[in-house]
Amino acid sequence: MMLFTDQLQCPSSFPWRFANIVSSQDVVISILFSNEVLESHPNDITQECKIQLSQYFKKTLIDFQLPLAEANSPFFKTVHAELIKIPLGATTTYKEIAEKISSAKKARAVGLACASNKISIVVPCHRVLNATHQLNGYAGGLPTKAWLLEHEKHF
């Protein structure tokens, strides 16, 4: 499978310099953060993702409309589908997601599904908090999670 890449310069107040986008010919595979400049090999998918992320950072995009790679297990796929339903500016907990997908005792498994998410921002695992509604675990780091939540309050 051929992979395509592109890089978006993030706002100066964001904890990372770049959002690195990887796609196949058909779907976005990952959006991960970096401080390093990477060589770009874009395609239509990475370019559209870059446009939509830029609009998100400028507060002009509420809903992403991108073809996304599916999670690697049926459970993770279900969790990621539920994450996409969390409205901009809202938060929920791992337990609440577990209850919504009829797996009330699987809050930890929901946490693992969030941790496995490689499509940052678009699959908004940053909107999920722990049982006491506090920030915890985020692949991009807690300062990034806090920044994203604060950013989304002001749309």
Please answer whether residues 49 and 43 qualify as being in contact, where contact means their C-beta atoms are separated by less than 8 angstroms.
Answer: no
Structure tokens at 25: 């010919």
Query: With contact defined as beta carbons under 8 Å apart, do 21 and 39 qualify?
Result: no
Closest CA to 32 of 109, 122, 92, 99: 122
CB atoms near residue 72 (< 10 Å): 11
Helix (H, G, I), strand (E, B) or coil at 67: coil
Catalytic-role residue among 10, 49, 114, 125:
125
Verify whether residue 114 is a known catalytic residue: no
Cα 127 from chain centroid (whole Å): 9
Mapping DSSP to helix (H, G, I), strand (E, B) and coil, where does residue 129 land?
strand
> What residues are labeled active site?
125
